[in-house]
Amino acid sequence: MSDRKSLKLLVIGAHPDDCEVKAGGLATLYRQAGHIVRFVSLTNGATGHHEIGGIELARQRQQEAANLSGISGVEYTILDNHTGELEPSVANRKDVIRLIRKFDPDLVLTHRPWDYHPDHRYTGMLVQDASYILTVPNMAPLTPHLQHMPIIMYLGDTFQKPIPLEPDVVVDIDSVVEAKLDMLHCHPSQMYEWLPYNRGDLDRVPADEPGRRAYLANGRLPQFSDVADRHRERLIELYGSDRGARVQYAEAFETCEYGAPLTTEARQRLFPFLEIG
């Protein structure tokens, strides 16, 4: 692992907004500490809406990502693969290898390869398939290979089959949960249009900005609270009994064995806000 002072966090999601939903709190903690964060969407977001699509939707979602960068300082990259058509191909694997090498991260987060959405599954597979080759010079040889393998971790989810999530790190995001909601608020095409439509409650979305922000909090905070409750024992182990029992909102991450090992030293370096080493 690099000995540079500033850490580099790379979150690779399938769609614009995946990184924010799963790791917006951790990203905010990193940014507050002066570290570098990049979100990547492997698809362009051109589907997933009931009224618009194609170039219009892709451009709107690109602008939403740019708005998020403006308020958070998080770098944002969107690859121009059509949403719903991502494949774990060699060509896409090489793209993932190149983008990871160029950023040279300390920590990479991505989806687990077990998920309801094929884009999520294949994103996880692409990162896994790219992992070993990151340090192999003869694959994508014009992009210098990494000298040190980054630690790779899975973003949290609730899927139970074939393997439920077993997080190695659960992060208290109480202090930054409002900033995480601000990130999600930057994605109106998803948070206030498509997702409510898909759930059948579009008529409940307020028209005014404060009302929408409250609607977002009412829907999302219970999800973040559920993460804390499901992984309460791990929170207590990591933060101590007093603070661990009081955490309201959390994000969970499981180590991928294809990356560098999450040693005690590595955990302390990458997650310095945990209270127990």
Instruction: Say yes or no to pLDDT of 261 above 90.
Output: yes
Tell me the CB-side half-sphere exposure of residue 110, using CA atoms within 13 A: 31
Q: How confident is the model at residue 131, as a pLDDT?
A: 97
pLDDT tens digit sequence for 110-121:
999 999 999 999
Percent share of the chain, pLDDT over 90: 96
Which pTM does this prediction carry? 0.96
Q: What is the DSSP string of 175-194?
A: GGHHHHHHHHHT-HIIIIII
- Give the pLDDT of residue 192: 98
DSSP state of 200: T
What mean pLDDT is predicted for residues 262-267?
96
Gap between the Cα atoms of 154 and 12, Å rounded: 10
Please report the DSSP string for 108-121 in residue order: EEE--S--SSHHHH
The mean of the pLDDT values for the chain is 96
Measured CA to CA in angstroms, residue 137 lies from 68, 105, 144, 150, 153 at distances of 35, 17, 7, 16, 23
Distance, in Å, from the CA atom of 275 to the CA atom of 268, rounded to the nearest integer, reads 9
pLDDT at 1: 47
- The predicted model gives 24-38 an average pLDDT of 98
Q: What is the mean pLDDT of residues 57-83?
A: 97
- What average pLDDT does the segment 27-52 reach? 97
Q: What is the mean pLDDT of residues 15-43?
A: 98
Q: Please compute the mean of the pLDDT values over residues 168-174 and round it to a whole number.
A: 98
Instruction: Report d(CA 129, CA 94) in Å as an integer.
Output: 10
Beta strands (DSSP E) in 126-255 are 151-155, 169-172, 250-255
Give the torsion sign (CA, 174, 176, 181, 187).
Answer: negative
For 196, the token pair is: 């409510």
The confidence band for 263, taking pLDDT boundaries of 50, 70 and 90, is very high
User: Do 163 and 266 contact (CB within 8 A), yes or no?
Assistant: no
**Of 11, 13, 12, 15, whose CA–CA distance to 25 is shortest?**
11
pLDDT in tens, 195-215: 999 999 999 999 999 999 999
Q: Is the pLDDT of residue 242 over 60?
A: yes
Percent of the chain having pLDDT more than 70? 98
CATH superfamily of 8-270: LmbE-like (3.40.50.10320)
